[in-house]
Amino acid sequence: MKGIREYITRDMIKWSRSPVSVVSMLVMPAAWLIFVGLALPVTFTGNYLDFIVPGILVMTMLSSSLNGGTLLMFDKILGFLNKFLALPTPRESILVGKILFITIRGAIQATIILVIAVLIGATILSPAQYGMIYLILLLFGFLMSACATTIALYLSDHDSYAAFNTMIAMPLFFTSSALMPYDVMPAWLRSIAHLNPLSYAIDAVRAAETGILPLVQIGLLIVLGGVVIAICMHMFRRVTVG
C-alpha cells in the first residue's frame, strides 16, 4: 500500500503543477451543464438540470479516465517506467497506483462540476445521497480507468490512443441515458443505451438522488471492474516482463 500511495502522490503533484490541464478538462462538462442543462427547453422532465447532472458527472469521470489512459504510456516513453520497475515495490503497485490516481482525479473534477451544478440551480441532496453518488462515480471511474489503461498498454502509441479516445468518447455519451430517458428514445437507441456501461452509472446516480439503493447497477460496475482490472494486470505483466 505504501508503494501505491507514493505513486498516487507523485502523479497528483505532477497534475497539480499543470493548471492548464486541470482547467481544460473541466471546460467541456461545464459547458454541457450550463448551455444544455439551462438553455435546452425539454418537456419530458420537470427540471432538466437535475436530470442531466448525473450524465455530466459520469461524463466527467469518463473524460478523466480516457485522458489518463496515456499516463503509463508517457512514463514508458520518457523512461520513468523502467526506473519504477527497478524499485523493490511490486510492479503491480505501479498499475494500481496509476488507476487509483486517475479515479481520484476524476472524482475531484466531478466535485467541481457538482458545485457548479448546485450554484446554477440543481437540487441540493442529503449527505447520504451524495455519499452514494460518490461511491458510484468511484466504481465507474475505476472501471473506465482500468479500461483506458488496458487499451493504452495494448496500443502503446500516443497517436493511436488519441484516435481511439476521439472515436469512443462522444459515441459512448450520446448512446447512453445521459440526455434523455429510455421511454422517449427510438427503439434502436434504447437497446444500445441499456447495454452501455455509462447508462449503468448514470441510472445508478439518478436512483441515488431519489434515495434508492441501486444494487443491480453497483453490482454490475463491481463485476465489470474486477474483470477489466484482471485483464489490465495481465496486459501490464506481458508488457513489462518482456
Q: Where are the alpha helices (DSSP H) in the chain?
A: 2-16, 19-31, 48-68, 71-78, 80-85, 92-119, 127-155, 158-174, 187-195, 197-209, 215-241
Which pLDDT value is given to residue 242?
A: 55
Identify the weakest region by mean pLDDT among 16-25, 49-58, 60-69, 102-111: 16-25
Q: Is the pTM of this model over 0.75?
A: yes
Amino acid at 198: L
Instruction: Return the residue matching grid coordinates 462538462.
Output: 29
Each residue of 52-74: pLDDT tens digit? 899 999 999 998 888 887 887 77
- Does position 172 have pLDDT exceeding 80, yes or no? yes
